[in-house]
Amino acid sequence: MGVIDIYNTSSFFLIKPNNNINQFVIPQRPTCCSFGGNHIRVIAMNSTIPVLHELNEVQQRLTGDAFIRPHLRQLSPYQSILPFEVLSARLGRKPEDIIKLDANENPYGPPPEVFEALGSLKFPYIYPDPESRRLRAALAEDSGLESDHILVGCGADELIDLIMRCVLDPGDKILDCPPTFTMYEFDAAVNNALVLKVLRKPDFSLNVEQIAEVVSLEKPKIIFLTSPNNPDGSIINDGDLLKILELPILVVLDEAYIEFSGLESRMKWVKKHDNLIVLRTFSKIAGLAGLRVGYGAFPLSIIQYLWRAKQPYNVSVAAEVSACAALQNPTYLEMVKNVLSQERERLFKLLKDVPFLEPYPTFSNFILCEVTSGKDAKKLKEDLAQMGVMIRHYNNKELKGFVRVSVGKPEQTDALMACLKRLS
């Protein structure tokens, strides 16, 4: 038994041995244990249960994950690729000596104007323009689509999530066509949406009939289409896209790799189709993956809501300046596209000659290969990593026996081929 004096409080908590927490509000009128003003005295009796034990149980009930939304507690962690500095440290090599062919980056990097612009940033201490006006004007000129249809994001990845946040209520459905870019599924899980899947055909083309059936039966709100598709590089033809646009569903067409296909972007189609969004990025052709700039073309009826929901400063000053600078040198971007397209043809032929690889035709800056002749795809990726060559392998069941190789510089192709020879 003891006495506790309490000052300056309107309520206090009593932890009882049965783990209930009782809150006592101090009455307005004086009681027998109140001394008036803001001083009260409480008589407390010692519990027979050790205090430590009681606290542990209370703490247990209040561990951090109790605060997390239930659907997020079910989420499996995003499987990101190993940063190349980590691999280089593990192998005891310089980062620039790692042959990085696992994330479809552009090994030539951005045009020199980007480095100049970054080196002479005048106002890094001022928040960026929330409407990225300079960049949107430059994009309008580049694409031929008015800037009111264009919104810029921290990578196309941010826009995928933003679209879902604006369109989906918890429990709504999206339609995914795997094998494809896995961020659609990931973001759907974060946004508490269900993912319906219509698998691609063996040649990776879309199963349009089945898509129409699932749309009519299950009423998903968004379908994500990728052209060229990651990981195989196949494209969607106009006929298939138009059939899907006829359906009562919002179509998000991801054109992250369109520049490598030699085909025109469908950005301007958003003026004719009120259910179409087209996404693009500076990460691939412009070599700005590390600066995070993507953009989308939207119908006016949709874009106004994205403006309302986006983070005001989602595109940094450095990102906007770099993207504008990259657009100032279309000759460089064209040159990079041509060099990488030529290297893609050479790499394809060389991979075809590897006895345990079957490469798929591609319209992008990467080549998907089936790993044959009893070789294990995961082990192949690990063996190459040990030699300082990074390629992509997948854990999902559709692509377990496949690897994806990004198109690099000719010397990177040569290094890859030398390592594959050692593994033959």
Ligand X SMILES: Cc1ncc(COP(=O)(O)O)c(C=O)c1O
What is the closest distance, in whole angstroms, from the C-beta atom of residue 52 to ligand X in the complex?
49
| Cβ closest to ligand X, residue 40 vs residue 391 | 391
| Cβ closest to ligand X, residue 105 vs residue 343 | 105
Residue facing ligand X at closest CB distance: 155
What is the closest distance, in whole angstroms, from the C-beta atom of residue 158 to ligand X in the complex?
7
Cα 252 versus chain centre, distance = 15
What is the closest distance, in whole angstroms, from the C-beta atom of residue 183 to ligand X in the complex?
7
| Cβ closest to ligand X, residue 283 vs residue 354 | 283
| Cβ closest to ligand X, residue 40 vs residue 278 | 278
| Cβ closest to ligand X, residue 173 vs residue 284 | 284
| Contact footprint for ligand X (CB under 6 A) | 104, 155-157, 181, 226, 230, 254, 256, 281, 283, 289, 294
| Cβ closest to ligand X, residue 225 vs residue 270 | 225
What is the closest distance, in whole angstroms, from the C-beta atom of residue 408 to ligand X in the complex?
15
What is the closest distance, in whole angstroms, from the C-beta atom of residue 364 to ligand X in the complex?
9
What is the closest distance, in whole angstroms, from the C-beta atom of residue 180 to ligand X in the complex?
7
